[in-house]
Amino acid sequence: MQDEVVKLLWEQSWQVFGESLSKVLGDALASYKRSAGFDEMQRLHPSVVGDEAFQVLRQALVRQWPYGHGQSSHAYVELRGRLREHVEQYLLRRLVLGNQVVPALRDVLFAADLGV
Q: What is the pLDDT of residues 41-75, one digit of tens each?
A: 999 999 999 999 999 999 999 898 887 665 567 78
Domain boundaries, the chain: 3-114
What Cα–Cα distance (Å) separates residue 11 from each residue in 43, 63, 94, 98? 17, 22, 14, 16
Q: What is the pLDDT of residue 106?
A: 84
- 30 CB-contact burial (10 Å; exposed 0-12 / middle 13-18 / buried 19+): exposed
What is the predicted pLDDT for the residue at 108?
Answer: 85
Tell me the HSE value of 2 on the side-chain side, using a 13 A CA sphere: 5
Query: Per-residue pLDDT tens for 72-89?
Result: 677 899 899 999 999 999
Question: Which tops the pLDDT comparison, 112 or 68?
Answer: 112
Q: What is the mean pLDDT of residues 78-107?
A: 90
Looking at residue 116, its pLDDT comes to: 64
Q: Are 62 and 25 in contact (CB under 8 A)?
A: no
Q: 78 — phi, psi (to 5°)?
A: -110, 130
